[in-house]
Structure formats: C-alpha cells, structure tokens
C-alpha cells in the first residue's frame, strides 16, 4: 500500500469517541460514527500471547476492572475484562477489542483508521512489526490504508521494515531541532505534534518538505479553526460533540 494523495479527513476522533464513551472500545468508535466521524485514532499494544488489542496504558487499572500489566495477560484473560464500567453504567460489560475486530467494523462501515502503536515497555520493535504486518493484512484490499503512528521511533522503524508501504506518522510532544531528519529517517509521510507546539511556520516548513502535519489533542473549537486555517492536515480531538467532523 502507498498513499499517492492525502485521502484522510481533517478531523479525527481521539480513542474512538474522545471522552464520550470508554476509550479504545468498539462502542466508542460506534458512538463517534453516530456523530458523523469517519476517521478514528486508537492505541494498540500486544498481549502476552501476541494478540494486538486496543489499549492505551501499560497497566489495566484505569480503563478495566483488571489489575496488573497488560503484557502479563493473554488474550483469553483480557477478553473477559470489563472495559466499560469505569466510564459509565451504560457501557458495563464492554470488552477490550482486538485490532482485527475493529478493522472489520471500520471497513464494513467505510471508516478510516489511525493506529497508534503504543508498546508495552521493552516491546517496542515487536509491537511495531506486529501492528504493521497485521494492519497490512487486515486492510489488504482497502483503497485507503490506515495511518500508523507512534512516539516510539524503534516501533516505527520496525513497522517500516515489516510493511514499508503503509503510511507512518512520527508522534512528538515537542518539536526537536532535528524533527525533519527524524521523520525522513523513518520514511514518515507526516508528523503528529501536540497542538501546543504547532504554528503556521511549522506547518509551512513541513509542507515544504512534503510532510503532512497532524495535531493532538485539539478540544477547543476556536483553536481547531485556527489550526485548520493555517493548513493543518488532520486534528485529533476528544470534543467530537463540539467540533464537527466536516
């Protein structure tokens, strides 16, 4: 797969539905879609037995009724956890989805994906390669591939080796002096930067180098309009009820 144009919308739903539903669940993605969003950012990591699941934290406590390290449990054990009750009673019993399950839903409903590779500590290369290979397989016949992103340069490098034609974005909290060299070394099509550090000059510099610019987590509608007016290519937001999808 190779992106010959930029086929992605300008507004992306963070972790499925921002804070309106339990993050990184299929319920969240469905809720985001009900509000008109068609592009979804979510986090993936590996279970102990090598399954790719949607999960942000390395520990289970914040978003499930489980306890301990995600990497210590197999898919069977993780699939029995409640990943919805922490958010609200309406989502009690919502499970941790696999990447494969989410991909099937997204493709069946004409939605697109930004897969953030979020490795458990010490599993950066393993997770990057696994996520890229599975994404390549799950979206093999898709006209628009998922965007792979990560803060881990080791994970992105492994993803590039495993599935070089999938588009990649380098996530950065700040903007180091060598940001362009890092993105180039990893063969990225985009940089994905905290909105606190994005301005018109950065966007122009990236565009001049052939890079797209994404930004997280943009929750103020006025800030969103400013960034888009500067030419931002994609903003990632929790405020899917305040920032219209188009």
Model pLDDT for residues 196-245, shown as the tens digit of each residue = 999 999 999 999 999 999 999 999 999 999 999 999 999 999 999 999 99
- Does the active-site annotation cover 197? no
Q: According to the model, what pLDDT value does residue 35 have?
A: 98
Res 79 pLDDT > 60 = yes
Q: Is 81 helix (H, G, I), strand (E, B) or coil?
A: coil
pLDDT over 70 percentage in the chain: 98
Catalytic residue among 31, 56, 87, 197: 56
Spatial distance between the Cα atoms of 243 and 12, rounded to a whole number of angstroms = 10
Q: Rounded to whole angstroms, how far apart are CA atoms 25 and 16?
A: 7
Marked catalytic residue, from 14, 31, 87, 195:
14
Could you tell me the pLDDT band of residue 4, with boundaries at 50, 70 and 90? Answer: low
Strands (E) located in the chain: 11-14, 39-46, 52-54, 112-117, 147-150, 168-172, 190-194, 212-216, 234-237
Q: Is 195 a catalytic residue?
A: no
pTM (two decimals): 0.97
Average pLDDT, the chain: 97
pLDDT at 5: 84
Confidence at residue 3, expressed as pLDDT on a 0 to 100 scale: 59
Backbone angles phi, psi at 12, to 5 degrees: -120, 135
217: Cα within 13 Å, side-chain hemisphere:
14
Q: Tens of pLDDT along 15-49? A: 999 999 999 999 999 999 999 999 999 999 999 99
pLDDT band for 8, please (50, 70, 90 cuts): very high
pLDDT of 137 over the 90 cut: yes
């Amino acid at each position: 797969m190779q992106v010959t144009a930029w086929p992605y919308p300008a507004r992306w739903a963070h972790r499925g539905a921002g804070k309106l539903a339990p993050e990184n669940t299929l319920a969240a993605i469905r809720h985001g879609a009900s509000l008109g969003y068609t592009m979804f950012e979510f986090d993936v990591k590996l279970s102990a037995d090598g399954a790719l699941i949607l999960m942000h934290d390395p520990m289970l406590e914040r978003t499930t009724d489980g306890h301990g390290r995600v990497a210590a449990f197999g898919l069977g054990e993780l699939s029995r956890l409640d990943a919805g009750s922490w958010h609200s009673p309406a989502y009690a019993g919502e499970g941790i989805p696999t990447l494969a399950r989410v991909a099937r839903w997204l493709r069946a409903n004409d939605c697109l994906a930004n897969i953030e590779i979020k490795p458990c500590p010490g599993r950066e290369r393993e997770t990057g390669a696994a996520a890229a290979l599975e994404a390549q397989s799950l979206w093999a016949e898709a006209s628009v591939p998922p965007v792979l992103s990560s803060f881990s340069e080791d994970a992105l490098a492994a993803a590039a080796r495993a599935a070089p034609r999938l588009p990649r974005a380098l996530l950065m909290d700040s903007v180091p002096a060598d940001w362009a060299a890092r993105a180039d070394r990893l063969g990225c099509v985009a940089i994905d930067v905290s909105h606190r550090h994005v301005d018109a000059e950065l966007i122009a510099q990236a565009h001049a180098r052939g890079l797209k610019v994404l930004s997280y987590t943009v929750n103020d509608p006025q800030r969103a309009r400013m960034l888009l007016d500067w030419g931002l290519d994609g903003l990632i937001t929790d405020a899917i009820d305040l920032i219209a999808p188009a």
